[in-house]
Amino acid sequence: MSVKRLKTHRVEKPWGRHSLWPGFADPAPGADPIGEIWFQDEGDAAPELLVKYLFTSEKLSIQVHPDDESARAAGYDRGKDEAWVILAAEPDSTIAIGTHQPIDQAHLRAAALDGSIEQLVDWKPVKAGDVYYSPARTVHAIGAGITVVEVQQNVDLTYRLYDYGRPRELHLDEGVKVSDAVPFVPNFQPEIVDDRRTILAEGPKFVLERWSVSAGTISLPADTPGWFVPLTGHGALDGQAWHAGECWALEGKVVLEASADADMLFAYPLARRVNVLSG
């Protein structure tokens, strides 16, 4: 068994916020806004998954991530599927995922250059509790006024197609080449297993669950790590105290204790769910 609290890495972003989420200290007045909080191992390991919080005050760029094959051809270890769990959203908040109609590469490139891509992507209203699994090659953007936990394949590889005139680099050649600019069709709908466990996303690159439980045993298959993400509450993992706003890397069999108000996410890199929670 192995239990490790991951290091918290705060990332300043122009589209970030000064009001974060319970469990995180807000930036000081006058400091740059925080857009992302990453949880990382302090060692040299490059685990399969990465967990982040995102705090948005403006739209993020319209972007795309390559799949494993395209990423490896570009010299990276893997592509990037990702899942978003919406924790909070303003009444008019949206996420763009997919396009309204299929778009060929020439049209997509032209739309990215003239800005009309903003109308071609499908902006969907979001609220707390919504979940999206966004496969690699999906054209997407996270909108303003959203607090989200993102679970993703662990690679820092994003191709920006459009950035609303901000002075940041775009990656049109690479991004257009790997984009499947088509309407988004969810590959999975959240499924309630019992009153303690809901499957939020299932494969093909990872499984993401949401738990509400006071005690239990986490049992992971051999050589399969897990990421424990407490959204609210507090408790212990094999006797080590955890609190909301943290992320823990687990292996093997771990005893979980949680307070009555605990709301927890758990992710592991398998294509199909396994019975990781018992007791």
Give the closest residue to 268 by CA, choosing from 130, 150, 151, 189. 151
Give the closest residue to 65 by CA, choosing from 207, 179, 166. 179
What the block records as the tokens of 246 is 């943290």
166 classed as catalytic: no
Q: What are φ and ψ of residue 34, in 5° steps?
A: -95, 125
Cα-based angle 236, 241, 243 (whole degrees, multiple of 5): 95
What the block records as the tokens of 241 is 């105290």
Residue with tokens 């609290």: 5
Written as one string, the DSSP assignment of the chain is: -EEEEPEEEEEEEEEEES---TTSPPPPTTSPPEEEEEEE-SSS---SEEEEEEE-SSPPPEEE---HHHHHHTT-S----EEEEEEEE-TT-EEEEEESS---HHHHHHHHHHSTHHHHEEEEE--TT-EEEE-TTB-EEE-SSEEEEEEEES----EEEE-TT-SS---HHHHHHH-B-SB---S---EEEETTEEEEEE-SS-EEEEE--SEEEEEPPTT--EEEEEEE-EEEETTEEEETT--EEEESEEEEEE-TT-EEEEEES-SS----EE-
Name the active-site residue from 17, 78, 137, 160: 160
Catalogue the active-site residues. Answer: 160
